Structure 1
C-alpha cells in the first residue's frame, strides 16, 4: 500500500511539473507575440549601439546602392561647382539583428541618431553640408541597415577655359570613407550614377557623371562630372559686340578726316568697348593657369581702337597744319594775323585803285600778286589734303591687314592645344601613402605565427 501511495504521489508531481512547463511556455509565446514593432525598436534602441560594427579586420564595408547627382550652380569667376548628391547606403550590423523567437517582424524603423551611421568624407570639398534624407533608418531582421543622406558640396575645379566660351571639361567630387591604418570605412561604389534635376546651371551644362578610379590608389574612386558651356550667351554679349565695334572702326575710315565727326565716333567706340571689358572682368576668371583667350582678344581690340583713334586725331591735325607739334600754335596764329593784315592792305589798295588812276598799273600788279598768293595757298591746302588722304588710306589698309592677321592667329591658336591646366590632387597624400604601404605588406609565415613586414 505504501508503494502504491508513493507511485501515486510521483505521478501527481510529474503532472504538475508538466502543467507548469506548459503554462510557462504559453506565457513566453504570448509575451513574444505581444512585442510589436515599436517594442522591438525600443529594445534595439536600448542597446545603444553607437559605435561602428567592425569585425576582426577592423573594417566596415558599406555598399552604396545608388547615387543621384545634380549640379546646382557653377561660378565661372572663381571656378567653383556646387552640387547636390543623394547617397543610398546599406551595411550590416550584427548587433541589430534578431531572430523569430524574439519577434516575427522582418523590418523596423529606428531613429537615425540612435544607432551608428557611416560618415562620408569629401577630400576636395571647399564647403559641405550633409543631412539625412529621412529621420529614420530601416533595419532588417538580419541586421542590414538601409540609410540615405543628402550631401551639398562645393568643390574647386581646374577646367581649361582657354577657348572660352567653347569649353568642355571635367570636375571631380571625391566621396570616400574615413580610414586610419588598417581600420576604417570601405565604400563599395555602384556601377553608375543617376542624374537628377535640371542639367542646366546657368551657362554651364552637365553632360555626364561617371565613377572613375583614382590613378594613385585602387581603393579610392570619385565622381567625374563632365561640363560644357552653352556658347550662345557669351557670343551674343561679348564676342559679337567686340567684332561689330572693330568693324565699325574700320568703316569709320569712310568719314572725312576734316571736321571731327570721325574722332567723335572713334571716342564713342572706345568708351563702349571699355564697358564690355568691365563686363568681361566681372564675369570671367583671369587667375587660373590658363587665362582665357578672350582676355587677350579684348586687350588687342582695345589697343587697336585706341591707336585708330589717335591716328584719326593726328590726321585731323595735319589737315589744318603741316605739323603735329603743339608748339607751332603761336607761329600759326602770328601767320594768320599777318595774312589778315595783308588782306586788309590789299583791300585798301584795291579801294584806292578806283580813285587813283595814276597808280593803276601798280594796283593791278598787287591784285595779281594777291590772287597768285591765294592760288598758291589753295594749292598748298589741296596738296596737304591729298597727302592726308593718302596717309588715311594707308592707315585703313594697315588696320585691315592687322585685323586679318589677328583673325588667322586666333583661329590657329584655338585649333592647337597649347594650354593644359595642372592636375589637382583629389585625395589626401598621407592617406594615399599609407594605402600604398599597406599594399606592400608581405606576410611571412612562421610556426603558428604570422608576421607582417612593412617595407
Structure 2
C-alpha cells in the first residue's frame, strides 16, 4: 500500500512540472473509465498551471436574481446573485469520442477552486451550497453557485423618496496576487443587465436601474490584486411615499393658502388656521414610521415638512396681527401720514387694490343717522340763538323772563356737548376705516408673499428631486 502511494506521489511530482501535456487515456467510453483517469490528477493541491510563474485567468460574471432589502440605518444592501467562474486546467484534455462525453460534473472538493470573494461582504453567506462543477474535455472548468450577499453600501437618501443608490460588489482573490490570478470580465454590462431583469424575482420597493462593470487593480504594500467591480444602480419606487406623505401635506398646505380668502370681520380665521396646524402636527407624528432612520443628513422631504409647518405658523401669526389691527383700530390714534401714504397709495397698487380718491365736496344724506343728527343739532342751535336775540331786543317792552333764558342756555350747552361728541365719533370712525384699509392691504401683501415663497420652495425641492434621477459613480 505504501508503495502504491509513493508511486502515485512520484507521478504527481513528475507530471505537474510538465503541465500534463499528454492527454488522458480512457479504457472505455464510460464515466467509470473517465473517473479512474481523473483520479491521477493533483486535484485541489495547487493552481492548475504549467509553471508556477504562469498567471491563471479567471473569468467572472454575475446575474442579479433578487433585491432582498436596503437597510438605511445599517448602510447595507442585501441581494441574491448567481456567480459564474471559469478557468482552465493547463494540459488537461480527453478525447470526446474515446471517453464518450464532452463534459462531466465532478465534486467541488476534488478541484482547486479560486479563492474569489466579495470585499464588501458584511455577513455570512447563508445561501445553499453547490456541490458540483462542470469539467469540459478541453480542461475548462465551469463553476456556478448562488450567493446571498449582505454588502456594505454608502446610501445617499438625501432625496428620499426619489433617491437612486449606487452599490458596488467587488470580486477579488483573497490571497493570490494579480501575477497569480487575474480577473477577466465574462459578459458585458448590457448583457448582465438584460439577463438580470429577465430573471429578477423581487418587485418590492426597489427596481434595478442599471449595472456597470469596471475591471480594476488594488495596489497594497505587499502586492497588487486583480479586481472586478460590479456597480448595481437601484431606484426607489416613490408611489407609496407620494400617496401617503406628499399628497396629504400638499392638501393641508393648500387649505392654509385658501384660508386667506376668509373674511376676518365675519369668520374666525385664527381658529381655522389653528385647527390646520394641529391636524398637520398629528400627520407628522403618524408619518415618522415611513421615513428612513438616519442621523447623518437631513432629508429633503423633512425640509419640505418643516417649511410647510413654518409657513402655517407664519400665516397664523399674520392673521393674529391683522385681526388685532382691524378689531382694535377704534382705540388707535390717526395713522401716521407716511404710513397711510406708503400703504394706501403705493402698496395698495402693488396688491391690486386701487386707492380711493379723496373729494372736497360735502354730501348731506338724510339717511345717515350721524350726519342727520349733526344737521338737526345745527338747526336747533341757530333757532335758539335767534330767539335769544329777539327776546333781548324786546326787553324794554316786557319784563325779562329769567327762567326761560336759563333753560335755553342749558339746552344750548347740552347741544354743543352732543355736537362735540358726535364730531369725535365721526373722527374715530374715519381713523377706524383708515386702519381697516391698512390691515386689508397688509393682509393681501403677506398673502402674495406667502404664495411666492411656497412656489419658490416647491420648485427648488422638485428640481432637487428631478436631478436625483441621474446617478454618478
TM-score tier, shorter chain, comes to 0.5 to 0.7
Q: Answer with 96-105 or 405-414: which moved more.
A: 96-105
Residues 110 and 376 (structure 1), Cα distance of their counterparts in 2 relative to 1, 3 Å cut: farther
**Which of 297, 302, 314 is 1:307 aligned to?**
314
**Which of 450, 453, 459 is 1:411 aligned to?**
459
How far 1:144 sits from its partner (Å)?
2.7
Residues 397 and 318 (structure 1), Cα distance of their counterparts in 2 relative to 1, 3 Å cut: closer
Work out the CA distance in 1 between the residues paired with 2:430 and 2:290. Answer: 50
Work out the CA distance in 2 between the residues paired with 1:165 and 1:211. Answer: 27
1:47-92 deviations in Å (ceiling 9; x for gaps):
783334243127433223x431235145374454332221222223
Q: Which residue of 2 aligns with 1:92?
A: 88
How far 1:302 sits from its partner (Å)?
1.2
Work out the CA distance in 1 between the residues paired with 2:111 and 2:423. Answer: 107
Work out the CA distance in 2 between the residues paired with 1:270 and 1:76. Answer: 33
**Which of 135, 141, 145 is 2:141 aligned to?**
145
Q: Which residue of 1 aligns with 2:261?
A: 254
1:1-33 deviations in Å (ceiling 9; x for gaps):
xxxxxxxxxxxxxxxxxxxxxxxxxxxxxx934
Matched, 1:49 2:49: no
Work out the CA distance in 1 between the residues paired with 2:121 and 2:442. Answer: 58
How far 1:300 sits from its partner (Å)?
1.3
How far 1:155 sits from its partner (Å)?
3.4
Q: Which residue of 2 aligns with 1:68?
A: 63
Contact 2:304 2:461 in 1 (8 A): no
Kindly tell me the number of residue pairs found equivalent between the two proteins: 357
Contact 2:59 2:87 in 1 (8 A): yes
1:82-103 deviations in Å (ceiling 9; x for gaps):
3222122222335976679995
1:406-450 deviations in Å (ceiling 9; x for gaps):
53355357658999x9999xxxxxxxxxxxxxxxxxxxxxxxxxx
Residues 214 and 116 (structure 1), Cα distance of their counterparts in 2 relative to 1, 3 Å cut: closer
Structure 2 unpaired stretches of 5+: 1-25, 220-224, 332-406
Q: Which residue of 2 aligns with 1:135?
A: 131
SS at match of 1:129: coil
1:323-375 deviations in Å (ceiling 9; x for gaps):
99xxxxxxxxxxxxxxxxxxxxxxxxxxxxxxxxxx9x999x99998999899
SS at match of 1:220: strand
Q: Which residue of 1 aligns with 2:204?
A: 202
Work out the CA distance in 2 between the residues paired with 1:283 and 1:61. Answer: 46
**Which of 111, 118, 132 is 2:114 aligned to?**
118
Residues 57 and 374 (structure 1), Cα distance of their counterparts in 2 relative to 1, 3 Å cut: farther
SS at match of 1:251: helix
| TM-score with structure 2 setting the length | 0.58
1:106-136 deviations in Å (ceiling 9; x for gaps):
4333233343323332122334526466432
| TM-score with structure 1 setting the length | 0.60
In proportion to residue count, which structure has more strand?
A: 1
Work out the CA distance in 2 between the residues paired with 1:215 and 1:265. Answer: 65
Structure 1 unpaired stretches of 5+: 1-30, 325-358, 425-455
1:134-169 deviations in Å (ceiling 9; x for gaps):
432222344332220112223344465555444455
Q: Which residue of 2 aligns with 1:27?
A: none
How far 1:274 sits from its partner (Å)?
3.0
Contact 2:108 2:133 in 1 (8 A): yes
Work out the CA distance in 2 between the residues paired with 1:156 and 1:392. Answer: 59
SS at match of 1:295: helix
Residues 309 and 226 (structure 1), Cα distance of their counterparts in 2 relative to 1, 3 Å cut: same
